[in-house]
Amino acid sequence: MQLVVDKIAKAFGIHEIFKDVSFMVEQGEHVGLVGVNGSGKTTLLRCLLQPEWVDSGAVKFEPGISVGYVQQGFTDIRGTIWQFMQTACPEISSLRQKLAQLEADSGKLQGEKLDSCLEEYGRVLKRYEFIDGYNYENRIKRVLIGLGYTEDWWQHDAATLSGGQKTRLMLAAALVRNPDFMILDEPTNHLDIVMTQWLEKYLQEFKGGLLVVSHDRAFLDNVAMRILEMEGGKLQSFKGNYSRYLEQNADCCLQCAAGLYCAH
């Protein structure tokens, strides 16, 4: 399991947001989180990202995995769009600098010191290849173009972008980082139909775990394989995409109306 949430609760004063919320997300599982505005979805996401913020219970990510998060809104972005994207994955830059330094050092060393340097170079290179460092720039180009930033945009000053454009750029940065687990909050809000379809395909190919909050039913149909519904401070899980969730939810409501047992 990449994420295990065990009976967490959160309240603001006497106002209880949710309690006894539990769920798990496996590697490669793509989960949609739905619920009416004010049901606690954003609060739940914050609890996942800041486990110490929960009142009780526990949030545990698999040790060592990288977690990417894209929320609504944006932070300060500097430089050109291309410069910003090149720094989106700091580990790539760090590994490149380390490889260059080790290469330079190897030309000055002999004997055991050279052997040690070459061993370290091999370890760093293995990590660089594992995160696909050689194709980083190609990955940037693919993501930028997919999200509507064609080449004529790449030298554009990112600080002059609109709020929606900056949010879209933050999404591009998160995708380029290629984390092990990704949390997306309304990712299609500033995308047109073509961009949304591109994002759907990208996420369908994404091998990591995914938790996405969205009101876009078609998007959830094409991306999610399970739906979590937040309602009345409780969380319920439904297998399948959003359409399947609606069918199961309707069946639950019919059972309730008939006075039969229903977990809803």
The per-residue pLDDT for 250 is 76
237: Cβ contacts below 8 Å, ≥ 6 apart: 23, 226, 227, 228, 229
Q: Are 24 and 241 in contact (CB under 8 A)?
A: no
CA angle, residues 215, 150, 78, in degrees to nearest 5: 80
3-state DSSP assignment of residue 194: helix
The per-residue pLDDT for 72 is 64
50: Cβ contacts below 8 Å, ≥ 6 apart: none
The predicted-structure confidence for 192-241, as pLDDT tens digits, reads as follows: 999 999 999 999 999 999 999 999 999 999 999 999 999 999 999 999 99
Q: Report how far residue 120's alpha carbon sits from residue 102's, in angstroms, rounded to the nearest whole number.
A: 8
Neighbouring CB atoms inside 10 A of 241's CB total 21
The per-residue pLDDT for 45 is 94
CA distance readout (Å), 208 to 1, 112, 153, 170, 261: 11, 40, 29, 19, 36
The per-residue pLDDT for 131 is 85
Nearest residue to 140 (alpha-carbon basis) of 218, 189, 80: 80
Span between the terminal Cα atoms of the chain, in Å: 25
Q: Report how far residue 39's alpha carbon sits from residue 53's, in angstroms, rounded to the nearest whole number.
A: 18
Q: Are 252 and 241 in contact (CB under 8 A)?
A: no
Tokens of 112: 């055991």
Q: Are 215 and 42 in contact (CB under 8 A)?
A: no
In the CATH scheme, what architecture does the domain 3-87+133-198+209-215 have? 3-Layer(aba) Sandwich (3.40)
Pairing mode, if any, of strands 30-34 and 226-231?
A: parallel
pLDDT per residue as tens, the chain (264 positions):
899 999 999 999 999 999 999 999 999 999 999 999 989 999 999 999 999 999 999 999 999 899 999 866 556 788 999 999 999 898 999 999 999 999 999 999 999 999 999 999 999 999 999 888 999 999 999 999 999 999 999 999 999 999 889 999 999 999 998 899 999 999 999 999 999 999 999 999 999 999 999 999 999 999 999 999 999 999 999 999 999 999 987 766 545 544 544 555
3-state DSSP assignment of residue 206: coil
The per-residue pLDDT for 251 is 62
The per-residue pLDDT for 257 is 47
Q: Is the dihedral of CA 44, 47, 53, 59 positive or negative?
A: positive
Q: What is the pTM of this model?
A: 0.85
The per-residue pLDDT for 253 is 57
3-state DSSP assignment of residue 238: strand
**Residue ranges per domain, the chain?**
3-87+133-198+209-215, 90-130
The per-residue pLDDT for 264 is 54
Q: Is the dihedral of CA 6, 10, 15, 17 positive or negative?
A: negative
The per-residue pLDDT for 256 is 53
